[in-house]
Amino acid sequence: MTAIDLGRPVQGDVVELILEDHRRFEDLMRTMRDATADRDAARRAFSELHVAHALAEEELVYPKLRRKDAIGEHEEEHGHEEHAEGNEALLAVLELSGTDTQAFDDAVEELAKVINHHLTEEELSILNPAREEVGEQVRADLGTAFAERRNALLDEGCGSTAQVRAIVEKARSEGVLEED
């Protein structure tokens, strides 16, 4: 667990809940770039949130949006790939011992590049169709399920370095990520 508030929504439109997390990612990346901030707390919080958010999307949101024909197989697979790329960039940040080095700054810059690309694509190619193609009640029900799963994963402490490493290794073994 982290001292940084990651929010604990229990309900809401799934699109809005996802967007709230996207803003949290941006805030945490800004904190990780701030030499006067508690960068280690920010990276731990980012890791917890990224893993919980991505798993909840992959397990619940993407499959439901496909069943509702809001997104196709390509968008779902691309979302998985970009989550894996985000986890890979995150692992590079987590594996650094210090937060006051050029290596840390460079790893955070790469993480920000990967995450910002994904947030933009997801908002355009997944969340917009969800708004247009999926009814309010379905989005509300999906929001409740997403929030419950996300919060449960956060409660489990899902973003340790070892857990992120295992997620990245699994993505590599499944061919979602290229081997180093």
pLDDT of residue 1: 47
Q: Rounded distance, CA 39 to CA 17, Å?
A: 25
Which residue from 118, 116, 119, 138 is spatially nearest to 14, judged by alpha carbons? 138
Beta carbons of 61 and 142 less than 8 angstroms apart = yes
* pLDDT, tens digit (0-9, with 9 covering 90-100), for 75-104: 999 999 999 999 999 999 999 999 999 999
Interatomic CA distance for residues 20 and 11, integer angstroms? 12
Do you know the residue count of the chain? Answer: 180
Q: Which of 155, 125, 115 is nearest to 15 (CA)?
A: 125
Q: What's the rounded Cα separation, in Å, for the pair 158 and 4?
A: 15
Token readout for 177 is: 């990520």
The residues spanned by each domain of the chain are 14-173
Nearest to 14 by CA among 177, 171, 137, 169: 137
**What would the pLDDT profile of 120-142 be if each residue is shown by its tens digit?**
999 999 999 999 999 999 999 99
Determine the pLDDT at residue 2: 53
pLDDT tens track for 45-69: 999 999 999 999 999 999 999 999 9
Q: In which residue are the tokens 């803003």 written?
A: 23
Say what the pTM is. 0.96
